[in-house]
Amino acid sequence: MKKQGIRTRLAPDRSVALAQYRGRAGVYDLELAPFEPIRRRAVAQLALRPDDAVLDVGCGTGLSFPLLLGRVGTGGRIVGIEQSPEMIDRARQRVAQQGWGNVSLVCAPVEAAEIPLLADAALFHFTHDILQQPEAIANVLRHLKPGARVVASGLKWAGPWRWPTNLFVLPAALRSVSSLEGLAAPWAGLAKAIPNLDVRSTLMGGLFVASGTLPMPA
């Protein structure tokens, strides 16, 4: 039987993802540096307030923590969820170096993570594989308050006529995802739970920021 590669594999593969991020942990911060404007935009869309609690889903090395803490303050709380031990070790080092006592870290696949609170917001920044897993999305949403803000951002295919953009997206995706499935609309799983999801594209259609609010109970 022909072995499936990243181009043909439909579902995200945890073993492939772990291998990817194990190899990237040492250079991850440098690789993500060009995308800092999209991170800042995504965090701004969360509309966080002082004392809010926020889930940083797929937090990697904790690059979003300073921006999030700048908005929730010392009375707020961040829970970072990351399945790669190598990545979360670097996040722990960042937290310890800065003395952030209100940042908790959970090393587990998102769908199995034991999230210790109900949060006011959730950030999915460059977490394509996670967004393609309904169980992962469901576990995060179960730990959000009604009316919580949810923001996702990352790579996406541009229109087929924008091949120069897609030539940029493809190698970046091959470096960071275990499946290209869903790259045309990575936010589609979130949109099923958040009907008002607002999606904006940037970088000639190669990046997106999707934001919305969990519905209030009827």
**Tens digits of per-residue pLDDT, 58-77?**
999 999 999 999 999 999 99
The pLDDT of residue 35 is 92
Q: Phi, psi (5° rounding) for residue 142?
A: -65, -20
Chain position carrying tokens 């190598």: 86
Q: Exposure pattern of 97-106 as b/e (b: 16+ CB <10 Å)?
A: eeebeebbbb
With helix as H, strand as E and coil as C, how does 142-197 read?
HCEEEEEEEEEEEECCCCCCCHHHHHHHHHHHHHHCCCCCCCCCCCHHHHHHCCCC
Rg of the chain (C-alpha set): 16
Residue 123: strand, helix, or coil:
strand
Q: Side chain identity at 44, as an amino acid letter?
A: A
Domains in the chain (CATH in brackets) are 14-213 (3.40.50.150)
Pick the range with the lowest mean pLDDT from 4-13, 15-24, 133-142. Answer: 4-13
Average pLDDT, the chain: 92
Q: pTM value?
A: 0.92
The pLDDT of residue 169 is 94
Residue with the larger pLDDT of the pair 6 and 87: 87
Residue 142 has pLDDT above 60, yes or no: yes
Q: pLDDT over 90 for what percent of the chain?
A: 79
Pairing between β-strand 144-155 and β-strand 77-82 as defined by DSSP bridges = unpaired
Average pLDDT over residues 123-142: 97
**Tens digits of per-residue pLDDT, 39-60?**
999 999 999 999 999 999 999 9
Residue 213 has pLDDT above 60, yes or no: yes
